[in-house]
Structure 1
């Protein structure tokens, strides 16, 4: 399974750290140049983002983040594989991630559109029924909103659907994928990996320490 790493041109150190980890576990990966929201013009933002009255507006950085994820979806949708894995470049990745990222995606449930391989601070609602994987890992259906888009596996068909439905968007990428209150997320079948394979660095290190 190929991994796609979202990385800003101005953050080569982050990419090197991600590359070192993925190389160490033998995972195939590709750098995806991130869209820098700071450099987007008002016209470029207006072309893709339509704010909702009464809802807090997305920042230019959030718009850039969404467009960066869409670039990964494009690669998955146009690629030969049934699934692809997307990582943001600020993730800590388990050394055991190779158990799932190196081999083919035959372990992914056939009905899965998304598999979240990231953990975030906060509780989520999961099905009681779990699917046992290997080496103590499990999958459970994700039934509630879960913050974070730092690490997830996306099916080719779901990537095609997301691309078609987000040519213009109004919600942050986390909500579009994982918030059942959003129309798109409500039609996707998402799973959570337990324990997760990745977590954001800010969960372990104080801001500015890296």
Structure 2
């Protein structure tokens, strides 16, 4: 399985930390140089983002989304069947190797993502992982993009769907609602956030924090517009699921 580590070139300590994590569970990783959205010119941002639907995304969030999209693009170009994508603030359990290898070797052909981090809501039940106490569950709501497995079919879908950039890299719930990819999660979590995650690279300066509330409000308005612009078939499918199918499932919260 190919392993990509998304890392800003300046964040040497983070890179060393995550490479050590990969080494400890027996994986050799390729560092993918992340895009620092704060260094992009206004014209570059304009060229790489949707003119309306990216409103409310910070420069750092745009850089993060471009970085993940860049990995999808490389998977498509190099015909990489399955990859483990990591951000540089991940912390793995020591027993993760066998679980990761199992997941990679049993990923279906249809567009699929396995989230290794915590999820907000998931459906009760799921599939037990052999020789493990872990379970693969269907995700209802999720965020966080610091650790996940993705197959080529999903990379192709996201490569086309997410560019020019208009969604955060971890807007998984929206992708689920649109039926874009099949998203599952492994529980208990094996891809944790390390202490390095407390040092945000999204809101990293005093000026960022000062404008955070206004930006978040703008993004909230934009997301409402995005959801309103979903196709009629997608809206109907989600309404049918909530009314006729969801009542038969117990939705748990992680």
TM-score by length of 1: 0.84
Question: In structure 1, how many angstroms separate the alpha carbons of the residues matched to 2:17 and 2:46?
Answer: 34
Question: In structure 1, how many angstroms separate the alpha carbons of the residues matched to 2:156 and 2:111?
Answer: 14
Shift of 1:20: 1.0
Question: In structure 2, how many angstroms separate the alpha carbons of the residues matched to 1:180 and 1:96?
Answer: 30
Change over 3 Å in CA distance of 1:85–1:38 after alignment to 2:
same
Shift of 1:102: 4.7
SS at match of 2:91: strand
Change over 3 Å in CA distance of 1:157–1:26 after alignment to 2:
same
Give the aligned CA root-mean-square deviation in angstroms: 2.4
Question: In structure 2, how many angstroms separate the alpha carbons of the residues matched to 1:44 and 1:173?
Answer: 18
Alignment of 1:134-149 (within 5 A): 134=130, 135-144=132-141, 146-149=142-145
Shift of 1:61: 0.5
Question: In structure 2, how many angstroms separate the alpha carbons of the residues matched to 1:95 and 1:106?
Answer: 19
Gaps of 5+ in 2: 201-254
Asked if residue 94 in structure 1 is aligned to residue 93 in structure 2, the reply is: yes
Alignment of 1:40-119 (within 5 A): 40-50=40-50, 52=52, 57-102=56-101, 105-111=104-110, 113-119=112-118
Shift of 1:14: 0.7
Shift of 1:205: 7.5
Question: In structure 2, how many angstroms separate the alpha carbons of the residues matched to 1:62 and 1:56?
Answer: 11
Contact 1:114 1:154 in 2 (8 A): yes
Gaps of 5+ in 1: none
TM-score by length of 2: 0.70
Shift of 1:181: 7.3
Report the equivalent of 2:242.
none
Question: In structure 1, how many angstroms separate the alpha carbons of the residues matched to 2:186 and 2:103?
Answer: 16
Report the equivalent of 2:186.
193
The aligned length equals 199
Larger relative helix fraction:
2
Report the equivalent of 2:28.
28
Change over 3 Å in CA distance of 1:101–1:192 after alignment to 2:
closer
Segments of 4+ moved more than 6 angstroms: none
